[in-house]
Structure formats: C-alpha cells, structure tokens
Chains A and B, each alone.
Chain A
Amino acid sequence: MKRLRLMVIMLLILALSLTLAACGSSDTEDAAGEEAQEEVQETADEEEAVEEEINLSGTTLNVVTTSGGMYAPLFEKFEKDTGIKIEFLEMSSGEVLARTRAEGGKPMADLWFSGGIDAFMMAKNEGLLEQYFPEGYEEIYPQYRDDDGYWYGKGLNIIAFIVNNDILEEKNLPVPKAWPDLLNPAYEGEIMAANPAISGNAFAFVAGVLETMGEEEGWKYLEELDKNIPYYGKRGRDPYTKVVEGEVAIGITYINKSILELEEQYNVSIIYPEDFIPWIAEGMAIFKNAKNLEGAKAFLDWVLKDENMQMLAEIDMKDTNMMVKPGITAYDLGVPMDRFVEQDLSVFGERREGIIEKWVELVGDK
C-alpha cells in the first residue's frame, strides 16, 4: 500500500515537472513559431487572393460588431448582393482589443464593424489591423478615414442628454439645455456619465469639453461636474439605462436608433445641447491575418456604395450630418453641423492615454 502511494506521488511530481518544463520551453518556441506561422499565413493569403478573386461567393465572412441584431438587414443585403455569407458576434470594443491581443495574430474574425474610433486607432498602433484602400476611399471626408488606410469611419455618434421627466418633475428640477447647466448643485447625485476609458462615446464627451472650453476651463468643468455624478457607469449604455430605470434624472449618452425609440416608450426626453455637440466616429476595419481577407475587402467596397450607406443611415437613424461621405440623405434630427465640436482627431489617438490618466486622477475610482 505504501509503495502504491509512493509511486503515485512520484508520478504526480514527474507529470508536474514535465508540464512545467514544457510550459517554460514552449514559450520561447511559441514566439518563434508564431512569426514563422505568420509568414506562412501571409503567403497563403496572397495565393488565396489570386484564386478567390474569381469567386468569393459561398465563402463566409466573420464579423465582430457592437450590435448584430441592428445590422442584420445590412448583412443580409450583402449576402444577397455578393453571395458571401456573414456570421457575426457582438463584442464591445474593449473586448475586441483584449481578445485580439491574446489571440496573437490569429483573429477570431475578418472584419470589425462599428465601435468607437479610439479603439480602432489603438488597434492600428498595435499592428492588429490590415491595410486596405477600398473603392470609394476618396469620397470619404478626410477626417473620417485613416490616411494609411487601416480604418474607416462608418458614421458619427453624437453625445446628448437623456432626461427622466418623472424625476425632474418630482424633484422640481429644471430641464438642462446646455452643458454648463449640468453644474447646477440641484442636480447633485442625479447625473450619470460612463467611464471614458471603457466607452468611446463617454470619451468623446470628455474630448469635446476639452476641445471647446480649452484645457484649463475644460478640466475645471469636469471637476465641477464630478460633484453631481454619484458614480461613473462601467458600461457605455449605463447612462441611458439608469435614466430609464429612474435611478438618475439625467444621462450623458450617445444617440442611436434604439435610444431615440425610448422616447416613445418611457417618459424620457432626448435633448441636444444648445452650445455644442461632442461626437465620435464609429469605425470599421479588417483584422490582420484575416482568413477571408478578400471577403472583408469586398465588404468595405460594398458598404461604401451610396445605396448601402443610405441603408446604414436608416438603420442607425443618423442625421445627414453624421454620415462619413457627402450625398447621403438621412434623418433630420435637428442637429445643425455648426454645433458639432470642431474636433482635432488626434485626441482619439495619441492624446487619449494622457487624457484618460488625468481623468482617473481627477475622479479617483468612482
């Protein structure tokens, strides 16, 4: 019996040490192997490209997107027009970045559709994206496309207020009209914004404030506003959901179709600030080492065509001013272009990290 136990323990130790050794050595191999594999993959892709130009029909394009249900009609049209089948998976930008990094050059999908442009810029810098200049590239306003061809805007998200009329009435609070109104001490504990590190839209708000008010005034404004905010939402959708649930009176939120529809369902109103409207472009891009690279390219060519952009505008319920190229007539949400913040786009790229750091310092972990 004792011998049995001894043997078992020895085996266990042996197995343990073998695995640890394997883990240790495989890591260095992994890195080398990865590179080699990448090269192989690239040449394979090139070969495929030549073949597949003849016929992409019947292939599958894997897409990660912020909201598949919403874009399903667009994807179905693409399928009908090109014969390429789209399979999609919903992920937030943060999840996409974390997962693509971990996957080490073997991305889960070919195309990344929708999500704050800040994440796309980060992905480009980290070498996670594939370069491509689609047909219709020239027509996109230069500020909504990457000069190097790694990402493209698909539309703009604007930032506005959503208010719960019941609470405003109950607490006898005025309806906010412009950004400075939010500093009213009467709103203490009644304003919700999302954490700008998590949500690109929340970051757009911070960036817009800094751009319009200037660095010094802007930070002072954010610091004052912080006093009225009980805590920052850890999901991009928190500000409007908390308003709908009646947890707070005012939310600083992005606007899209499903949020516009809330006005018909609940006693909430959407208010476009009178002084300025922060915005952020939503992106689309091809992942580096995409398996169906040609399919992803075909999608970009296709989606930038006028009729498809038109469909996208209708799905997103965007104002004409919120489209990335001219000539698309969409909704009139009553948001004149001159109220849009004249945003220096570098704010979403190289300046982002500095701003986030300063913001974290300002609010602590609230």
Chain B
Amino acid sequence: MSKSKNMVYKAIDYFIFIVLVMLLLIFILRPIYAIIRTSFILDGKFTLDIYRNLFRDNIRLIKNSLFVATLTTIISVIISINVAIYVSLSKGRIRKILILLLMLTMISPPFLSSLAYIKLFGRRGFITHDILGLTLNTYGWQGIVSMQSLSSSSMNAFILTGIINRIDKDIIKSSLDLGANTSYTIRKIILPMMKPGILNVALLTFVRSLSDFGTPMTIGGAFNVLATQAYLNVIAYSKMELAAAICVLILIPAAIAFTQYRIFSRKNVLYTQNTIANEMLDEDQDESIKPKGPLWRFIQIFASLFLFTMIIQYLTIFLTSITQYSYGKMYFTIEHFVHLRKYLGDSFIRSITYGFITGICGGILSFFTSYYVEIRKFRASRLLDFVVTLPSIVPGVFMGIAYILAFNNKPLELTGTSAIVILNIMFRQLPSNTRVYNANLSQIGTQVADAGKDLGAPSIYIVKDILFPMSKTAFMTNFVNNFKNTMTTVGAIIFLVYPGKKLATLEMFSAIREGKYGVGAAASVTIILITLTINILMSRLIMRWKNVR
C-alpha cells in the first residue's frame, strides 16, 4: 500500500473523529451547560446560594429516587435476562412470535401504559377489584417501580436477545453435545457472554429511571422523586434555577453508576470468535439445540408470565380505543378512530419521516461514537463515553429547555426548525444507541480489529468491511429503538415543536388533555401499528443486507 494512500485514510479518520467530537460538544455539552449555568447565575452574578441547602432539603427525594431506580433496574434486568434467554433458545414459529411480541411491547405509548395499569390493577382495576375482589392502593413507589420495570423490560430483552444471537451457536451446541445440561450451559456459557449487554442495559435502566418524571407524576401518588420535583419547579413554581440545580443533583448518582459500570466492564472483557450475525427474525435455530431442565422451565414460566402481563396491558389499550361508555355501560364503537381521522395526515407523516432520519443518522452517529470508545480506546475515551450518557440523565423537559437556551441565537439559531426537534430526539437516544453498540463491539472484541490492522488494513476498511457489517444487529436494534422513540416521545419536544409542525404523539396527548381517552388510545393504537410495521420491515431489510463471513 502506498504511503500517500495511507495518509488519506488517516486524514479521513481524523476528520470523522473531529466531526464527532464537535457534534457531541455542540448538541450535548452546549445545551446542558446552558441549562446548568442558570443554577449558578442569579441576577447576572455567579453564586452558589442554591446549592447551599440543596442536599439537605432534598435528602428524602434523593433516597426515593435511588430506591426506585435501583429496584427498577434489578427487576427489569432479571425480567429481560429471562425473556432474552427464552427467546434465544426457542425455535421456529414460537421464536418468531416471541420476537414479534417484544417488538410490539417495547413501543410503550406514554401515559396510556399507566392508564392501562390503573385500569387493570387500580383500586377498581379489572384484575384486582373485579376478578380478585381486592381494593388495592396502586399509587406510590410500587406503582412507579412496576410501570418502569414493565416498560423498560421489552426493550432490554430485545437488546439482550441481539447479544445472545451473536454468541456462536456452535459453542452452545457443543456444550450440550458434550453432555452439559441446559442449566449448566445457561449459567456457564450464555450468562457470562451476555455480561457486557447486561451491564449496559442495567446502566441505561438506572439512569432512565432517575430522570423519568412522567411515571411518578401519573402513578406516584404522594411519593415524589427528584425528577418530578425538578419538573414541578419549572412548570408550577417558576423556579428554573432550583430545577436546574436538582438536575445537577440527579447527575451525581448517575455518574457513580457510570463509574461502577466502567469498573465492572473492565473486569469482564470477553471474547467470542463469532463472526456471523444471526438473523433475529428469519433464521430458524438449529434443531439440535433442545433446552430442558428445571432452570429452563423456570425461565419459560417467568418469561411467559411477563409477556402475558404485557399482552393484557396492550389489549387494554386496544379495548379502550374501540369502546365507549354510556351511563356506566360499555359498548363497542369505531367513533374514536373516526374522530382521529381529523388529526391524521400531516403529523403522522412528519413523525414517520423524523423516525427514519433519527433511526439512520442516530445509528451511524452511535456506531462511530462506540467505535472510538470501545475499539480505538484512547485515553479520553471514557470521558467521551460519559458525555454521550448525559442526555439520558437530564430529564426530558430540561433537554427541551436546554435546546431552546442553546439554539435560540446566533451563531446556531435553530429554534422553529424541524432540525432542532430531530437533533433533540436523536441526541436523547444516543446514550442507548451507543450502549447497544458498546455491548456489541466489545463482544466482537478488539482483536478482530487488531487482526485486521496486523494484516495492514487501514482503520477505515476495518470499519467499513468488518465492524460495521458485523454489528448490524446493533444497527437494527438502534433503528427500531429510535423509530419507536420518535413515534412516542413527548417530554422534551413540547418545548421545541412549533404550531403547525406537530408530531403524532402530540395529537395523542391533546386528546388525553381533553379527557378523551378513547381517542388517545385510538391514536396510540395507530402509532403502535405504524411503528411495528415499519420496524419489522426495516429490520428485515437491515438483516438481509450484506452478510459477512
């Protein structure tokens, strides 16, 4: 290879890296800096007044937040490991149905999931009150933990399934062939190999729970957390500076969790020699893998229970969309969908377009971020990784306000454009996208890349011909995740969207604001169906494209 060619490749490499860093600085650090500085500047002067009593005043809320986030993380991780193993070791049609269910139930329409939960398990809930004859109080931390765990588990399980899929099936097969039972294979082979995925999923769930204010507001009752308090300070008490300070407070446990995650993942560097990404949707599993044994039974039952709960929840939403009440009597109707027709059109098409852009651009952006963090591993890579995590730590509303503060003036005036909405959604999803890639790339291991390098391949070819194709499961997972999030997001964008440029979720929310839950449910069913269809089509397309050996 000629020297000049090498120089060109290096230049491209530098260029990509610098562009990446600039993007992260502009669209993550700049807005977060803009919002955090409001807590330090009072009447134009620098001050620490707000922080003086902050910790003491909020100690109870800090405990509440940590409690809920920890519990949610543990429950969600346990559920998703079980579900992922169940899906991965299932065969044929069952496997296809399971993956379809995961793709369906990870589309969690905001507010309506909580509504379904209340309808099923509330004081007069269908299951608790009408069937079991109980009158339970569902409000409080139980409600928050249940809702957060349920709504995050499908996505987590989907990510983990993608990870297990990357484990060479021959390893599992040979383990079973050598006489090891299923329990042993799961404990000694599958679980250890899932570890990078589990760590990433746990970190994401923890951080998301910390910054979630919607669920506690709807179902927390008198149980408050930091994120709700921050939200109320902006929306109700007009105390932006205090709200920003509470966001800083949320950053602390998140940062601790992040360091823990880093320590753990360093200890568990795992290598797989697998180079073939299995197709999640199409490929029939090798018939010779026949899982059995008590652990397998447990996983089966546990996962089925979870999926069953989710199905009931979605059925409830569906039922809400096709029923109406008249003097306390329920009847079936399509009037909600007829009513919805008024809203259909522009906003749904806009949402779908935004979804495609965030799905593809977000995937590419996170691939490169993860590539420099996990494969190239330079000294500042951990810092880079932390910066990328920030957007999921800051509650949605604040990322919205932060974007207005950062981009309502020159040099980069974006308010009022579609770009600011798309960028906001994309960068808010970057943490989970990058985590998915991190888990995938670290599983591929740096050796593959090193091997390529030893053979004299320039980085750019290693990226183009080895890493990118090999991690296409991650690309697919991310597309699915970004698309569904664009279709369901609501927290931040209410501050960024302009009249006449509404998104589908906002249509759903305006119906809910007016108390028209039926119409809201109809909108949400439409959103779910669109999202599911596009996600299935796109993931098939992505998985078909260029198989490497």
Contacts and interface: CB of A to CB of B under 8 A. Distances in A.
Interface stretch (A6-14, A294-302, A326-334): A6-14
B405 interface: yes
A306 interface: no
Main secondary structure of the interface of A (DSSP, over half): helix
A356 B328 contact: no
A197 interface: yes
Interface residues of B, number: 68
A106 B515 contact: no
A259 B515 contact: yes
A237 B515 contact: yes
B352 interface: no
Contacts of B122: 245-247
Interface in B484-530: 494-495, 497-500, 502, 506, 509-511, 513-516
A66 B232 CA distance: 18
Contacts of B511: 69
Interface string A21-54: 0010011001001100000000000000000000
A90 B509 contact: yes
Contacts of B129: 246
A89 B516 CA distance: 17
A258 B500 contact: no
A99 B235 contact: no
Contacts of B229: 365
Contacts of B343: 69
B33 interface: yes
A60 B235 CA distance: 28
A184 interface: no
Interface string A230-258: 11001101001100011100000000001
Nearest to A257: B514
Contact of B25 (A15, A67, A234, A366): A15
Contact of B139 (A9, A88, A231): A231
Contact of B217 (A92, A104, A234): A234
B112 interface: no
A366 B506 contact: no
B52 interface: no
A159 interface: no
B498 A98 contact: no
A92 B326 CA distance: 29
Nearest to A291: B416
Contacts of B510: 67-69, 90
A30 B118 CA distance: 47
B124 A33 contact: no
Nearest to A234: B217
A9 B285 CA distance: 45
A70 B379 CA distance: 57
B222 A366 contact: yes
Contacts of B342: 69, 72
B414 to A, nearest CB: 11
Interface in A174-215: 195, 197-198
A30 B328 CA distance: 57
A262 B328 CA distance: 10
B326 A102 contact: no
B268 interface: no
Contact of B409 (A15, A30, A67): A30
Contact of A95 (B14, B34, B124, B495): B495
A247 B500 contact: no
Contacts of A337: none
Contact of B404 (A30, A102, A265): A102
A254 to B, nearest CB: 11
A95 B235 contact: yes
B408 A9 contact: no
Nearest to B405: A102
Interface in B418-450: none
Interface in B199-229: 217, 221-222, 224, 228-229
B236 A19 contact: no
A221 B506 CA distance: 39
A140 interface: no
B124 A245 contact: yes
Contacts of A26: 409, 411
A68 B118 CA distance: 27
A60 B238 contact: no
B234 interface: yes
B226 to A, nearest CB: 12
A198 B499 contact: no
A101 B35 CA distance: 13
Interface string B333-376: 00000000011000000000000000000000000000000000
Contacts of B404: 99, 102-103
B56 to A, nearest CB: 15
Nearest to A167: B124
Given A12-B380, A95-B494, A265-B327, A23 B515 contact: no
Contacts of A103: 404, 408, 415
Given A12-B21, A69-B514, A62 B409 contact: no
B495 A264 contact: no
A97 interface: yes
Contact of B516 (A72, A122, A195, A258): A258
B30 interface: yes
Nearest to A365: B224
A108 interface: yes
B356 to A, nearest CB: 23
A8 B25 contact: no
A34 to B, nearest CB: 7
B515 A98 contact: no
A180 B290 CA distance: 69
Contact of A234 (B232, B411, B502): B232
Contact of B234 (A30, A91, A98): A98
A241 B324 CA distance: 15
A98 B240 contact: yes
Interface string B310-342: 000000000000001111100000000000001
Contacts of A90: 506, 509-510, 513
A143 interface: no
B497 A89 contact: yes
B499 A240 contact: no
B119 A245 contact: yes
B217 A235 contact: yes
A141 interface: no
Given A19-B26, A94-B236, A122-B238, A60 B500 contact: yes
Contact of A106 (B25, B238, B328, B408): B408
B499 A108 contact: yes
A15 B21 CA distance: 8
Interface in A149-183: 166-167
Nearest to A63: B499
B264 interface: no
B173 interface: no
Interface of B: 14, 17-18, 21-22, 25-26, 29-30, 33-34, 37, 61, 118-119, 122-124, 129, 137, 139, 217, 221-222, 224, 228-229, 232, 234-238, 240, 324-328, 342-343, 378-380, 401, 404-405, 408-411, 415-416, 494-495, 497-500, 502, 506, 509-511, 513-516
29 contacts: A9-B379, A19-B25, A26-B411, A30-B409, A60-B500, A62-B499, A67-B514, A69-B343, A87-B500, A89-B497, A89-B499, A90-B509, A98-B234, A98-B238, A98-B495, A99-B494, A102-B404, A102-B408, A103-B404, A106-B415, A108-B415, A108-B499, A234-B217, A234-B232, A245-B118, A247-B118, A247-B123, A265-B326, A267-B327
